[in-house]
Structure 1
Amino acid sequence: MVTADAPIDATTHGGRAKCLQRLVRLDLPVPRTVALSFEAVRRIAGGEMPDMGALLAPFGAAPLLCVRPSSEDPDWGGPGAVLNIGMNDARYAVLSAQLGRAAAAALYQRFVQAYAVHVARLDPDMFEDIGEDGPEGLAEVLRAYELETEEPFPQEPQVQLAEVLRSMARAWAGTTARLLRQAKGAPADAGLGLVVQAMAFGMGQGECGSGVMQLVNSQTGLRQITGRYLPQSQGRDALQGGDAALFLERDARGASLEERAPEAFAELKQHAGLMRARLREEMQVEFTIEDGQVHILDGVRVARSARAAVSIAVALAEDGIIARQEALMRIDPRSLNELLHRQIDPEEECDILAHGIAASPGAASGRIVFTAADAQASAARGEPCVLVRRETSPEDIRGMHAAVAVLTERGGMTSHAAVIGRGMGLPCVVGASDLTFDLRLRTLGAPDGRRFAEGDVITIDGTNGAVIAGEARMLEAAQGDAFQTFMAWADAERDIGVRANADTAADAQTARNFKAQGIGLCRTEHMFFETDRLTVMREMIFADASEDRRAVLERLLPMQREDFIALFRIMQGQPVCIRLFDPPLHEFLPSDRAGHLELAEALDLPLSDVTRRVEALGEYNPMLGMRGVRLGITVPEIYDMQARAIFEATIEASREGDPVVPEIMIPLVSAKREVELVKTRVDAVAAQVRTQTGRDFAYRLGVMVETPRAALRAAEIAPHVSFLSFGTNDLTQMTYGLSRDDAGRFMSTYVQQGVFPEDPFHTLDTEGVGELLQIAAERGRAARPDLVLSICGEHGGSPESIAFCRDAGFDYVSCSPFRVPVARLAAAQLALLEKHG
């Protein structure tokens, strides 16, 4: 029996059984209930039945019962409930006199059909042609059962209940059910409890019916009584009751339970409030009204969107029902993405064409375009567009800014489109290899044969990786008062810094809005792809002598200086870590003949000279070629210009606000001598600027650790720098010998077959790459105890990676601006777990 002091626990009897015990302890009107443990159900599945007489004894003579599943986690599911067990010809006659023949027949017919489908395993279609209700319909159902099974419907309640229990136990033990619940995160050996409960009819004389009630809106989390009530019904029929279902409280749109049965409504509202306060959760109440009397059949945690979950947690904490720390622990950090971006309405039926990798969360609809120029033209016309490319490159940045979403055929979680998309908050699906990308004909082919031309509308769901035909209905982002309060609580608990990767003023403003504690990575090369700067950059590349390069870069200096002034002013004295120029120069040059011709005209050079220069800069493996510090040493004028722009911007920005202390980061270091050479030139530029301006300033120099050798030689490098920031995208790529742009083609197979536990570009490899980080941290701090350590690759926003960084003693993590709230909450939860367990 489920009593106040019965030995019942969710781990032995399931969540439903435990909840019903809590309702009993609250003296709520719960029908008499017996709970069968996981072990008892396992024995039933194996053919060992309990003492049915003893099981039925608590319910008295001739009871009507229902059986419901009770798994440890409600999300794991279970077999469907069976109602009205115990109905037979004799009980039908008695209830006909008490409730009326129509109600009694409905109760009996419902049970016969459920028994036929779930126990006798008959095809539910056999009942579709039965058009009669009442006694005539019941007679037809009984005849159909007898005809199909070649035996009469069982009349003995003990037999009925035993067969229902056996059927539900075996259904849970079946292969299909096991695979389904494992897909929802359940362990393979998860147990099932069963709850046997006396029926509250919900049908008959007086006010009878059933329904569900909750005190909050499942989508918003705001206080609002929602649910439905259906007269003359059972179970959860009200949710499928259509126009016949009533609202609960008074509503201008139709009849309500409050008007029809005000006392029952008031009692239900009181019960729901008590459950919220005492169970410390927003609960959905399943109830039945029988001749005006309220029965509480069950209470389940209210289903909720992520935005509702935050509102609910904050409201419970502010009402003193739970502590703020518990409110923080109730929210999955990754679910915050739903609040930060527009999402497809979960009730929308979508025409899904294919799936790719969900590279940047959020959703958007727009017309297909195939080039960055077309995206800019579309934006100029005020038409939302989706940029479709095989893969994006730095040349596509302007098109990405103009588009509402990006779709690529190739790439993975750290490909160019994915990284830039996350930084911009732009929905992005990459690696959609099931689609056919024909850039020559400008069409997109779906696996089912449909073709979409330029201008056709599609929707990109970067949260789930879906590519959808047409325009989908959206839910807007939700960053209201509850969200701001919640994040302030998180900041009060966390003990590791969170910065943002930001390349533009817009990125920096987003980071500031999300309360980032500075910029941990500013990739300066993205500043050179604007039209007016790209031509100047190309002139510099074609210059042969140092003096000529310096002269051309003088034209970029004021532009770069203004970029940094904007960043410094937006961050208002918070640290800004600027990575010096990193990519190979060929990325700034056109790759086709038309582009070569256009460049020759712009530079007033023969086409042959342009072609030769482009070919000369080509490399077999450019990502391991002349880029990063290697470029800074062989073409030092670039770093000289950038250092001057940083220092002059520092002086200018410090005039109006808090003093700025910029951080200059050298990329792709692998040797101490590289740092010494760059540091010497940067210090020299700083001295020149101090002399020329008469103003003093401070700055910090550091290294971006992206090569295994830099990690291993950290003890040699650390004395020359103030910080080490680990670029885990490239470090993972070099440690594994994988191309992060191509690994998506086989990574899912590798993960499925257990080669890697997770995609190492998505979740930090704490064993291999992580060991390099730990080695570098230990050796670096041994050589320089005040060395600041951080991670600035895409792993910086991952809760698992933040856990690793905390354990390794890192000072902060840096991630895309839209992942900053995720990192802030994850860091708070880790601190709470360490503090309270």
Structure 2
Amino acid sequence: MKFIYPFGGSAPKPDVDPDKQIVGGKGLGLQVMSKIGVDVPPGFTLTTPLCQIYAKDNDLPADVWKSVRDNVARIEKDMGKVFGSSNDPLLFSCRSGAAMSMPGMMDTVLNIGLNDTTVEGLASATGNERFAWDSYRRLLDMFGEVVLGIPHEEFEQRLDKVKEDAGATNDVDLNTNDLKNLCREYKAVYEHQKKQFPTDPYDQLYACVKAVFGSWMTPRAVKYREIHNIKNLLGTATNIQTMVFGNMGDDSGTGVAFSRNPSTGENVLYGEYLINAQGEDVVAGIRTPQPIQQMKEVLPDCYAKFVENVDKLEHYFKDMQDVEFTVEKGKLWMLQCRNGKRTGVAAIRIATELVKEGICTESEALLKVEPRHVEQLLHPTFSPEALESNEYTKGVVAKGLPGSPGAAVGKIVFTPARAEEMKANGESVILVRETTSPEDVGGMWAASGILTARGGMTSHAAVVARGWGKPCVCGCSDIIVSESNKTVTVKDTNVVFKEGDVVSINGATGEVINTAIEVKTPSLKGDLEVLLGWADKEQGVMKVLANADSGPDALQAAGNGAMGIGLCRTEHMFFCPERLPIVRRWIFHTECLDDLDHIKHFQRSDFKDLFVAMNGMPVTIRLLDPPLHEFLPRPEQVQEKVAEELGFGKDVKRMLDRIESMHEENPMLGLRGCRLGIIKPDFTKMQVEAIMLAAADFMEESPSTAKPRPRIMIPLIGSINEYKDQAIIIKREAERIRNERGVDIPYEIGTMIEVPRAALVSNKIAALKDDEDGKPLCSFFSYGTNDLTQMTMGISRDDSNGFIPKYLELGIFDDDPFQTVDEEGVGYLMKLSATLGRSANPHLSLSVCGEHGGDPKSIAFFDTVGLNYVSCSPYRVPVARLAAGQARVKKRMEEAKGAAVKDMDKKGAAVALGRDAFRCQEPLAANIVGGPALSA
């Protein structure tokens, strides 16, 4: 069913139920509970589009207020009570409820309709004067704070004074006269604040509706949505619901519970309740609640009915439920249900156990686990208890970008050498740099975590850290790093940290904490393996490969379920301290063939390790790509010893002149990638020889079992002739090795599409053939989305942190394009390239090997492009496997839904629109105010 948004606003996120987008999670939950026989207090919902109208006009249309009155009249008839009556008055609650759960971020007001007259009527009708005045003082407090903005402390101080005068420890110890006195004190607060409490019940109700809609844009709600990346919602709905009272005595109460433990996933009720209380008492900490299981002893019938309701809801929604309830004079009422929030450990256990219990299918279970849940299980983390501790929350001194997930604690160091030295002594260190370079990798490897002041999510620090599974906070503009003084200064506070000071970093949030926080490493086995196995089984699912540059990386990737290597960055093989001088000498003196042979020797060994680790699975090796000057020492590091080591004798000046001559104004668009291979063809030949010899060595050592599958990838091509030049060199060299060694090594040649022009001529690249034998020269495209994004959008990924956060804040960008692929621009080029390429070669393999290959939202898009696989860092492989499986499940569900609609259209079937009230009486009646009907 297609929904129309008559009050403006963008369409809902794909993962948000359209019905929930209109009536909110709370409203939809109430609808469902009423339909399946769970008792809920009667009420109605003002829809989320009205939230947008209120934000624009600071009021609602007259017809909406008329609908509110009409619905109140309907409920008055059902309940046999009148709103505002002086004799047994009908009272309402007014609660928020957006399409996505935002616990505690928006407002609620209870006991609406009480005043000096109706409170006497409530007391008389119930025979419980204390209860009536307790409800009245709650309304005065909540209305004053939520609607009129009176600081809660003003009411809290008056309550404390009344309790002190009465000798009461808790508010339940106050008698009727105390509560009457408290109401007078609360009215005095209004007078002191020069505010007016409306005595007309409808004035109260209208003001509360406006306040709830207005709470959508409060700073705390906006910040919550920013933190949790909640976008494209229409606003909050407002639920007006008949009051039921848990504060009517010892046979009444209220509580909150989960159908399963949200921390561990154990299948036991988990929650709390209070006798003689209203809902806010449980969460406000005013009184100490009791474990939900104890309710069985004091309210056994209600407890049995509650367990029955929770089980019914869990089976209906096929998920763990978070519920709120009230018991009024021995009668159980359910106030809210929603899918409960949970930890990563709990999410995975709940999903697998729901399948074992027959409540949902494997495919349905996949959708109950979020990628962030899996991420929690892949890296050392701070425990939930640690994250909520004062030590953590008050210790956050700076915040940067979450470059690589995980948690790390260590002493601050400022140089790679110092990091390696302290690591050798068994100490944990955090390497702090302005920004990192390839030369820093020794220290980066030694460090427990990495913190940089500059650089984005695809900066050198972030990419390397993710590949190694190390926590990294990058682009932390809150700090000033002085490597010469060995200090870090926090800009806002001028707090200074010196080398050796201990800090903690949270790579999942980008937070830097000024003290040591305990780190925990969850298990990766058991239920997670089962869940990811279900994802892998989904029909037509994209495969997930890994970006890996060494044997240990490859083994880690295989252990995490990678189906091969989608990207080996050959340059990462050059960074070891014993290898870097050899590479540098060759760069300076390319005529030195001995150095080229040395490079070939260690590459040959490394490639063989990859083939062994991935035996039978593809290993895609990208030829050298980055600018050569990245391998060179910085001028300030050049001394006689360095010059002598690199072939300049002791002539420091000549070496500096040589470095200066190699300087490029824009190195990312300079001599790199295929351009280097074209200018220096011997380097391309050397790399191909190393690849093919490594494969041959492996096959000869294990002739019966070895199955190397090298795929050689040409980087940075922009023209057909660039590709053909390098592909011919690769093919000739590969065939020479095959003939000389007498082994039939299967190999493929392809390219990384990272230059927009290459995407535009993809059909011509895919159609290229060898002039000698007429066979195709290109068998695969792998989209390098890091550079493709950079070149398409004209944004430097290393410098983007200077403005992208502001772009996200202003809504200019919905997502950081270096974290989540830009579908309209970069994504369009990918789709165009894929279509062109396969038009020339239907068997062309398509994939992504940029950092977007591990981003769940991007993976869902890549599935629509028709990619064969995505490739990401070893530690993101499980997340990508889950995301790929989820993308396939959602696609199948959408196809099934579309087919069902078409089938109904063919049969001329009418689609019934449900506009049901959440009410306990039959028949169900219309209750949706201000938006389209719900789908059948």
- Higher RCO (CA 8 Å, separation ≥ 6 residues): 2
1:271 equivalent in alignment to 2:309: yes
TM-score, length of structure 1 as denominator length:
0.88
Counterpart residue number, 1:682: 730
**Identical counterparts, % of pairs:** 36
| Equivalent of residue 855 in structure 2, options 798, 813, 816 | 798
Distance 1:554 1:833 in 2: 51
Out of 643, 647, 651, the residue aligned to residue 607 of structure 1 is 651
Where in structure 2 are the equivalents of 1:72-471 lying within 5 Å?
72-73=98-99, 75=101, 78-83=106-111, 86=114, 106-118=134-146, 122-127=150-155, 128-129=157-158, 130-132=161-163, 133-147=174-188, 161-174=201-214, 177=217, 184=225, 185=230, 190=235, 192-205=237-250, 207-241=251-285, 244-249=288-293, 256-258=294-296, 264-289=302-327, 294-333=332-371, 336-344=374-382, 345=384, 346-349=387-390, 350=393, 351-446=395-490, 447-471=492-516
CA shift for structure 1 position 412: 1.4
Task: Establish whether residue 628 from structure 1 lines up as the match of residue 676 from structure 2.
Answer: no
Is the counterpart of residue 519 in structure 1 residue 547 in structure 2?
Answer: no
User: Per-residue displacement from partner, 1:650-673 (whole Å, max 9, x unpaired)?
Assistant: 123334334112111122223444
Letter in 2 for 1:646: I
How many angstroms does 1:202 deviate by?
A: 4.0
Give the Cα–Cα distance (whole angstroms) in 2 for the partners of residues 528 and 473 of structure 1. 35
Letter of the structure 1 residue corresponding to residue 438 of structure 2: P
* Equivalent in the alignment of 1:67: 93
By how many angstroms is 1:55 displaced?
A: 4.1
Q: How does 1:737-756 map to 2 (within 5 A)?
A: 737-751=794-808
With over 3 angstroms needed to count, the CA separation of the structure-2 counterparts of 1:749 and 1:92, relative to structure 1, is closer
Q: Tell me which residue corresponds to 2:623.
A: 580
2:412 partner SS: strand
**Quick one: structure 1 residues 15 and 347, their matched pair in 2 at CA, closer, same or farther if it must change by over 3 Å?**
same
Query: Given that residues 229 and 257 in structure 1 are in contact (C-alpha distance below 8 angstroms), is that contact kept between their aligned partners in structure 2?
Result: yes
Give CA deviations for 1:81-107 in whole Å, capped at 9, x if unaligned: 314855867866985998877666544
Shift of 1:578: 0.7
Question: Contact 1:44–1:50 (CA<8 Å) still a contact in 2?
Answer: no
CA 1:20–1:665 in structure 2 vs 1: closer, same or farther (change >3 Å)?
Answer: closer
In the TM superposition, what is the alpha-carbon distance from 1:25 to its structure 2 partner? 4.1
CA contact (8 A) 2:93 2:243 kept: no
Query: Aligned with 2:257: secondary structure?
Result: strand
Amino acid at match of 2:696: I
Shift of 1:451: 0.9
What residue number does 1:253 align with?
Answer: none
Does the C-alpha gap of structure 1 residues 637 and 412 become closer, same or farther in structure 2, counting only changes over 3 Å?
same
Task: Quickly say closer, same or farther: Cα 1:100–1:806, change in 2 above 3 A.
Answer: closer
Letter in 2 for 1:416: H
Query: C-alpha separation between the residues in 1 aligned to 2:413 and 2:255?
Result: 49
Give the distance between the partners of 2:520 and 2:203, measured in 1 at CA. 46
Structure 2: which 5+ runs fail to align? 1-17, 52-59, 82-87, 164-173, 769-776, 895-936
**2:749 match:** 701
Task: Write the letter of the residue equivalent to 1:114.
Answer: M
Aligned twin of 1:20: 30
CA distance in 2, matches of 1:296, 1:808: 45
Quick one: structure 1 residues 233 and 570, their matched pair in 2 at CA, closer, same or farther if it must change by over 3 Å? Answer: same
Instruction: Measure, in 2, the Cα distance between the counterparts of 1:648 and 1:751.
Output: 49
Q: Note if contact 1:789-1:810 (Cα within 8 Å) is conserved in structure 2.
A: yes
CA distance in 2, matches of 1:10, 1:594: 61
* Aligned partner of residue 881 in structure 2, secondary structure: helix
Whether contact under 8 Å (2:99, 2:236) holds in the other structure is: no
Matching residue's letter, 1:131: V
* Aligned counterpart in structure 1 of residue 633 of structure 2, from 584, 587, 590: 590
Give SS of 2:270's match: strand
Partner of 1:789: 846
Mapped to 1, the partners of 2:297 and 2:819 lie a distance apart of 55
RMSD, aligned α-carbons: 3.5
SS at match of 1:836: helix
**1:5 corresponding residue in structure 2:** none
> Are the structure 2 counterparts of residues 318 and 195 from structure 1 closer, same or farther at C-alpha, using a change threshold of 3 Å?
farther
Using the TM superposition, give the Cα deviation of residue 111 of structure 1 relative to its aligned residue in structure 2, in angstroms. 3.7
Q: Tell me the alpha carbon deviations over residues 226-248 of structure 1, each in whole angstroms, 9 at most, x when there is no partner.
A: 21122332214234447832223
Q: 1:56 to 1:420 in 2, by over 3 A?
A: same
Counterpart of 1:3 in structure 2 is: none
Contact map agreement 1:210 1:236 (CA 8 A) in 2: no
Deviations 1:62-91 (A, max 9, x none): 156441415352625542131485586786
Distance in 1 of aligned mates of 2:459 and 2:282: 49
Which of 872, 885, 890 is 1:828 aligned to? 885
1:757 to 1:195, Cα distance in 2 relative to 1, 3 A: closer
Maintained 8 Å contact 2:503/2:513: yes
The alpha-carbon distance between structure 1 residues 170 and 532, as it changes in their structure 2 partners (threshold 3 A), is same
2:781 partner amino acid: L
Q: How much does 1:288 deviate? A: 3.5
Shift of 1:771: 4.2
* SS, match of residue 527 in structure 2: helix
Conserved 8 A contact 2:252-2:330? yes
Is 1:763 aligned to residue 824 of structure 2? no
Which residue of 2 is the match for residue 33 of structure 1? Answer: 42
Q: What is the CA distance between 1:558 and its match in structure 2?
A: 3.4
Distance 1:416 1:566 in 2: 24
The one-letter code matched in structure 2 to 1:82 is L
Q: Determine the structure 2 residue equivalent to 1:4.
A: none
CA distance in 1, matches of 2:180, 2:326: 27
- Deviation string 1:696-723 (CA, Å, 9 cap, x unpaired) is 3221122222323433443443322222
Contact 1:171 1:177 in 2 (8 A): no
Contact 2:112 2:205 survives alignment (8 Å): no
Aligned with residue 530 of structure 2, among 465, 481, 485: 485
Q: How does 1:700-739 map to 2 (within 5 A)?
A: 700-718=748-766, 719=768, 720-739=777-796
The 1:12/1:479 distance shift into structure 2, 3 A limit, reads same
Match of 1:510 in 2: 556
Instruction: Give 1:445 shift.
Output: 0.9
Q: Residues 210 and 87 (structure 1 numbering): CA distance in 2 closer, same or farther, change over 3 Å?
A: farther
Q: In the alignment, residue 474 of structure 2 is paired with which amino acid?
A: V
Output the CA distance in 1 between the equivalents of 2:839 and 2:187: 83
Cα deviation, 1:742-791, whole Å, max 9, x if unaligned, reads: 23222334455666554433333334434443444344334433322222
Q: 1:590·1:596 contact (CA, 8 Å) conserved in 2?
A: no
AA of the residue aligned to 1:791: V
Contact 2:638 2:656 (8 Å CA) reproduced:
no
- CA pair 241-264 structure 1, distance change in 2 beyond 3 A: farther
Determine the C-alpha separation between the residues in 1 that align with 2:496 and 2:439: 27
Any unmatched runs of 5+ in structure 1? 1-7, 250-255
State how far apart, in whole Å, the 2-side matches of 1:754 and 1:78 are: 22
> In the alignment, is the contact (CA less than 8 A) between 2:685 and 2:729 conserved in 1?
yes
Query: 1:147 deviation in Å?
Result: 4.0
CA-to-aligned-CA distance 1:427-461 (integer Å, 9 cap, x gap):
22222122111111111111211111111222222
Paired with 1:44 and 1:56, the residues of 2 have a C-alpha distance of 21
Q: Which moved more, 1:469-478 or 1:415-424?
A: 469-478
Looking at structure 2, the residues matched to 781 and 123 of structure 1 have their Cα atoms a distance apart, in angstroms, of 65
**In the comparison of the two structures, how many residue pairs are matched?**
814
For 2:307, the aligned partner's letter is K
Q: What is the 5 A alignment of 1:492-571?
A: 492-493=537-538, 494-543=540-589, 545=591, 548-549=592-593, 551-571=594-614
Kept in 2, the 8 Å contact 1:126–1:144? The answer is: no
